[in-house]
Amino acid sequence: MPGEKRFRTSLFGFKKADVNYYIEKMLREFDEQLKSKSSEIDALRQQNRDLKELYDEVSRRIENIEEDRAKIAEVMIKASDKADMIINEARTQAIQEKKEIEDKIKAEEEKLEALRWQLKNLRSEVISTLKKIENELGRLSESGNDEFSAEGEADAEAEVAAGYEDGM
* DSSP 8-state secondary structure symbol assigned to residue 8: P
Q: How many domains does the chain have?
A: 1
Helix axes 16-142, 150-167, angle to 10 degrees: 170
C-alpha torsion sign, points 141, 143, 140, 120: negative
Provide the residue-wise pLDDT of the chain in tens; the chain has 168 residues: 445 666 566 667 777 888 888 889 999 999 999 999 999 999 999 999 999 999 999 999 999 999 999 999 999 999 999 999 999 999 999 999 999 999 999 999 999 999 999 999 999 999 999 999 999 988 888 886 554 455 555 666 666 666 656 555
Note whether residue 17 is domain-resident: yes
Note whether residue 149 is domain-resident: yes
- Answer whether 168's CB lies under 8 Å from 123's CB: yes
- Across-strand partners of 14? 9
**What gap in Å lies between CA 5 and CA 22, rounded to an integer?**
8
Note whether residue 2 is domain-resident: no
Q: Supply the pLDDT for residue 14.
A: 75
**What gap in Å lies between CA 137 and CA 150, rounded to an integer?**
10
Nearest to 20 by CA among 30, 7, 32: 7
Q: Supply the pLDDT for residue 148.
A: 47
Provide the residue range defining the domain that includes 147: 9-167
For residue 61, what are the CA distances in angstroms to 53, 66, 101? 12, 8, 58
Q: Supply the pLDDT for residue 15.
A: 79
Note whether residue 79 is domain-resident: yes
- Residue 6's Cβ-side half-sphere holds a number of Cα atoms within 13 Å equal to 3
Note whether residue 4 is domain-resident: no
Note whether residue 30 is domain-resident: yes
Whole-prediction pTM:
0.42
- Residue 44's Cβ-side half-sphere holds a number of Cα atoms within 13 Å equal to 6
Note whether residue 3 is domain-resident: no
Note whether residue 13 is domain-resident: yes
Task: State the CB neighbour count (10 A cutoff) for residue 56.
Answer: 10
**What gap in Å lies between CA 50 and CA 52, rounded to an integer?**
5
